[in-house]
Amino acid sequence: MNQVWVFIFWCLILLSCAGEPNLSESNPKILEALEKRKALYRKEVLENCKRDMMERANLYVDSLIAAEISYQLSDSIVFPPKPLKPVSPGPIIIRDTVKARPVW
């Protein structure tokens, strides 16, 4: 009985070691796993790209909105227009009627 178990044990060992695994790139299981990983990587890169793009777009839109609000606030202060310059009456002539006295 003991010899039967030893024989079965050795047969199982020999059968399990008989075939070498096919680890080449032509193996359909390896190709399938590779395609899944490529698709997952592409999806991850695309999600990161979309997230970064949305963050940059949000910053840009926020700055546009802030600039518009600032412009509207500064635009609400209305200053009156400058008055027109009066017409010049001409040169002013001063008659020298008083003579200067010496200081000392």
| Structure confidence by residue, pLDDT tens digits, 33-91 | 889 999 999 999 999 999 999 999 999 998 888 888 877 776 666 677 888 888 888 88
Q: Would residue 60 count as lying in a domain?
A: yes
Neighbouring residues of 31: CB distance < 8 A, sequence distance ≥ 6:
25
The three-class DSSP label of residue 83 is: coil
Which pLDDT belongs to residue 55?
94
Which pLDDT belongs to residue 18?
60
The whole-angstrom distance between residue 38's C-alpha and the CA centroid of its chain comes to 25
Q: Does the structure show a pLDDT above 80 at 100? A: no
Which pLDDT belongs to residue 19?
64
Q: Does the structure show a pLDDT above 70 at 17? A: no
Q: Would residue 59 count as lying in a domain?
A: yes
Tell me how far apart the alpha carbons of residues 41 and 46 are, in angstroms, rounded to a whole number. 9
Q: Would residue 44 count as lying in a domain?
A: no
Q: Would residue 12 count as lying in a domain?
A: no
Q: Would residue 2 count as lying in a domain?
A: no
Domains of the chain: total: 1
pTM, 2 dp: 0.45
Neighbouring residues of 24: CB distance < 8 A, sequence distance ≥ 6:
30
Which pLDDT belongs to residue 103?
81
Give the structural domain span for 71: 49-75
Residue 86 sits at φ, ψ, to 5 deg, of: -70, 155
Tell me how far apart the alpha carbons of residues 37 and 30 are, in angstroms, rounded to a whole number. 11
Tell me how far apart the alpha carbons of residues 98 and 100 are, in angstroms, rounded to a whole number. 7
Q: Would residue 58 count as lying in a domain?
A: yes
Residue 21's pLDDT band (cuts 50, 70, 90): low
Read off the DSSP letter of residue 103. Answer: -
Q: Would residue 36 count as lying in a domain?
A: no
